[in-house]
């Protein structure tokens, strides 16, 4: 009888082992709203960032301490990197708070899925079909989180463009009505405009498709790298539970930094493009060519 009980216990433990899924698992429901482990992790990261920000703000000194000096080095380095993209410190200062916030949000979420806290969770189902659901799961290992971040980045870039160069110029980047109207005023001096203008107009329409492509690219790149890393670590730990997974763990820590950096830099690029007036840029180029 004792052997039978031990066998049943082993079977139950095997059935309760957690397998990585493409979707986030629900933890609890509140008035019809489902809270998943990825959403819970994202809330935890946001609260953590807010607490750290408030603590740093309250401890600012004219003569910085070690911690303040460390974060000042990070901020100065990140702002210089942002300047390399925008080529304008004033524009960098406007974009930087969003970019650095997204960077730390993605970074901490990437690392959260690597922490050895998978034993904390709940067991759902009956004795025969028990399933273990962890409380925390890296938010960026859930496609819903990465798609939301990507939509925020692309939509925010266009909204930033509206505030920077105006609604009309932002609209004309995609539906270039002005270039079609220019056919009637410039056709005498530039006959080729009757061919160039329609092409320019349709290129703007293609840019709309490009905005959706940006969302897909940003979201699936981040999700794919983070989710694949967690699956790799889980697989290596299942095969060899001790020293072998350690190099892969450090590799995934590095991948988490790189993915957060790539997403943040692309966000800065999109915001910079959104704040750029293409008509003004073209007129400057024409002026340079004329002066030569």
How confident is the model over 63-120, as pLDDT tens digits?
878 888 888 888 899 999 999 999 988 999 999 999 999 999 999 988 887 776 544 4
Each residue of 124-140: pLDDT tens digit?
555 555 555 566 777 88
Tell me how far apart the alpha carbons of residues 83 and 286 are, in angstroms, rounded to a whole number.
26
Tell me how far apart the alpha carbons of residues 290 and 242 are, in angstroms, rounded to a whole number.
69
Q: How many domains does the chain have?
A: 1
Helix and strand element counts for the chain (H, E): 10, 4
Q: Which domain holds residue 148?
A: 2-291
Can you list the positions of beta strands (E) in the chain?
26-30, 33-36, 121-124, 131-134
Each residue of 191-219: pLDDT tens digit?
777 777 777 778 778 888 889 999 999 99
Average pLDDT, the chain: 77
Helix, coil or strand: residue 132: strand
The crossing angle, in degrees rounded to 10, of helices 143-165 and 89-112 is 170
Only one residue has tokens 């092409």, namely 199
Helix, coil or strand: residue 131: strand
Tell me how far apart the alpha carbons of residues 67 and 44 are, in angstroms, rounded to a whole number.
22
First vs last Cα of the chain: how many Å apart? 96
pTM exceeding the 0.85 threshold for the entire prediction: no
């Amino acid at each position: 009888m004792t052997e039978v009980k031990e066998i049943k216990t082993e079977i139950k433990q095997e059935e309760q082992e957690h397998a990585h899924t493409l979707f986030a698992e629900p933890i609890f429901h509140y008035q019809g709203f489902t809270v998943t482990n990825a959403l819970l992790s994202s809330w935890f990261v946001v609260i953590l960032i807010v607490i750290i920000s408030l603590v740093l703000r309250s401890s600012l000194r004219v003569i910085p301490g070690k911690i303040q000096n460390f974060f000042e080095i990070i901020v100065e380095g990140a702002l210089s990197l942002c300047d390399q993209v925008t080529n304008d410190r004033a524009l960098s200062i406007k974009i930087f708070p969003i970019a650095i916030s997204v960077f730390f949000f993605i970074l901490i979420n990437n690392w959260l899925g690597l922490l050895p806290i998978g034993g904390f969770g709940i067991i759902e189902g009956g004795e025969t079909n028990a399933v273990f659901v962890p409380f925390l799961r890296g938010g960026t290992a859930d496609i819903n989180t990465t798609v939301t971040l990507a939509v925020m980045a692309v939509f925010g870039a266009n909204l930033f463009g509206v505030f920077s160069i105006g609604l009309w110029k932002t609209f004309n980047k995609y539906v270039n009505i002005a270039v079609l109207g220019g056919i009637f005023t410039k056709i005498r001096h530039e006959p080729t405009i009757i061919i160039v203008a329609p092409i320019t107009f349709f290129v703007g329409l293609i840019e709309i498709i490009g905005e959706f492509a940006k969302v897909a690219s940003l979201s699936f790149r981040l999700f794919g790298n983070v989710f694949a890393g967690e699956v790799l670590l889980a697989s290596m730990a299942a095969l060899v539970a001790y020293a072998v997974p350690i190099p892969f763990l450090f590799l995934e820590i590095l991948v988490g930094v790189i993915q957060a950096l790539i997403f943040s830099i692309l966000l800065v690029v999109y915001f910079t493009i959104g704040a750029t007036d293409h008509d003004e840029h073209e007129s400057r180029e024409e002026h340079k060519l004329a002066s030569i």
